[in-house]
Amino acid sequence: MTDATFAALHRAADAACGARLFTVTVLDRTAGLARRAYTSHPLDYPATGTKPLRDDAWSDLVIGEGKSFVANSTPDFAIYFSDHALINALGCESALNIPVADDSGLVVGTVNILDAAGHFTPQRVSTLESLVKTHRSALLTAFATVPMENPA
């Protein structure tokens, strides 16, 4: 169910605006962890393991304020994404991170879409944000099934 939910959103986003690299991240704010729960590129970006949540301007905007992060060139996101060289190697030079909040307004995950330089026009951002909003209920249900602990 979880992968099917994320895959359906991936297909919809790709059909609507293009999504060269598509991932979904689930947050455990209490534990300070993030887990990639879905990926369009499992070899390059596997959906395994957790990483600590960051404390930076990206986190303040996306997780703290619940606003999308839009970067239309590598220099715009390289300061936040240490894996920018790999992102570029996949043909991606722009990034959009859309927060997903629970009913209380707390951001519990993000939908992450990357594509060619300059890809995320205001119209595409609006379309993709609306798409995520339409899928919000299914996303929240799927987020709740993603294990945050690392296997032994």
pLDDT in tens, 104-145: 999 999 999 999 999 999 999 999 999 999 999 999 999 999
Domains within the chain, CATH numbers bracketed: 2-143 (3.30.450.40)
Per-residue model confidence (pLDDT) at position 117: 97
Q: Are the C-beta atoms of residues 106 and 29 closer than 8 Å to each other? A: yes
3-state secondary structure 114-140: EECCCCCCHHHHHHHHHHHHHCHHHHH
Q: Which two tokens stand for residue 71?
A: 């970067």
In terms of C-beta distances under 8 Å and separation of at least 24 residues, what long-range contacts does 10-13 make, across chains too? 10/38, 10/40, 12/131, 12/135, 13/111, 13/113, 13/128, 13/131
pLDDT in tens, 58-72: 999 999 999 999 999
Task: Give DSSP secondary structure letters for 14-65.
Answer: HHHH--SEEEEEEEETTTTEEEEEEES-TTTS-S--EEEPP-SHHHIIIIIS
Per-residue pLDDT, 21: 96
Whether this prediction's pTM lies above 0.85 is answered by yes
pLDDT for the residue numbered 87: 94
